[in-house]
Chains A and B, each alone.
Chain A
Amino acid sequence: DVKVTQSSRYLVKRTGEKVFLECVQDMDHENMFWYRQDPGLGLRLIYFSYDVKMKEKGDIPEGYSVSREKKERFSLILESASTNQTSMYLCASRSEGENEKLFFGSGTQLSVL
């Protein structure tokens, strides 16, 4: 089975801090995604990457950046955390071919105080 691992299950940070959320997948997938999930809003796409060093903005990229230096790792960066970035963050990688599907990590619940 594909494994997508997010480095932290819970994080508490202060306003203005730089925050790194790490995600690693073990299936050599080219495509990786970062979503945030808030009550009543479903999953919203922040950024995605389709290859090493390649990235594209999702629907809500403001206040975030990403890094994909190695194929297996996709990092989400909050340059200066704000309280409105308190959320559940979900990373996913995508298999390709006939049975293409997304595999999600367990999520990181980030609280910005």
Chain B
Amino acid sequence: LAKTTQPISMDSYEGQEVNITCSHNNIATNDYITWYQQFPSQGPRFIIQGYKTKVTNEVASLFIPADRKSSTLSLPRVSLSDTAVYYCLYLRLTGGGNKLTFGTGTQLKVEL
């Protein structure tokens, strides 16, 4: 089972940087690390994906240490609209037949 572990919840204030860490101790060589964001009453949506070191896009950065047993999603200068549940999972980019298992996610609450 592709199990990940994240904090259940985090609180922050507008303008702060938020870092959410996920552990994935049994990640395999072929697995990529992916993060999703979910707002209430919506399906999750893709944020960022990486294999190692650092990946950055217009929304977030993803830091992955050399052993790849954890990853950290970094949200720069959060706003109220970043209040959501954030999920990490890892997946194998080898084609079909792969289960994609989500954990319980991290509920981020951003306040003024």
Q: A106: which B residues are within 8 A, CB to CB?
A: 41-43
Give the CA-CA distance A90 to B93 in the complex, in Å.
22
B101 within 8 A of partner (CB): yes
Residue count of chain B within 8 Å CB distance of chain A: 25
| Identity of the chain B residue whose Cβ is nearest the Cβ of A97 in the assembled complex | B93
Q: B36: which A residues are within 8 A, CB to CB?
A: 102
Q: A50-B96, A96-B95, A107-B41 are in contact. Are A101 and B101 (CB under 8 A)?
A: no
Give the CA-CA distance A102 to B98 in the complex, in Å.
12
- Mark the stretch among B10-18, B70-78, B102-110 that contacts chain A: B102-110
Decide: B97 and A102 in contact? CB cutoff 8 A: no
For the complex formed, measure the closest distance between the CB of A40 and the CB atoms of chain B, giving whole angstroms.
7
Decide: B87 and A101 in contact? CB cutoff 8 A: no
B28 within 8 A of partner (CB): no
Q: A43: which B residues are within 8 A, CB to CB?
A: 44, 87, 102, 105
Q: Name the interface size band of chain A.
A: 20 to 34
Given A41-B104, A42-B104, 19 further pairs, Cβ under 8 A: A35-B102, A42-B105, A43-B105, A45-B101, A45-B102, A50-B95, A50-B96, A56-B97, A58-B99, A90-B43, A92-B43, A97-B93, A98-B93, A99-B49, A102-B36, A103-B46, A104-B42, A106-B41, A106-B42
Could you tell me which A residues sit within 8 Å of B by CB distance?
A: 4, 30-31, 33, 35, 40-45, 48, 50-51, 56, 58-59, 90, 92, 94, 96-107
Could you tell me which B residues sit within 8 Å of A by CB distance?
A: 1, 32, 34, 36, 41-46, 49, 87, 91, 93, 95-105
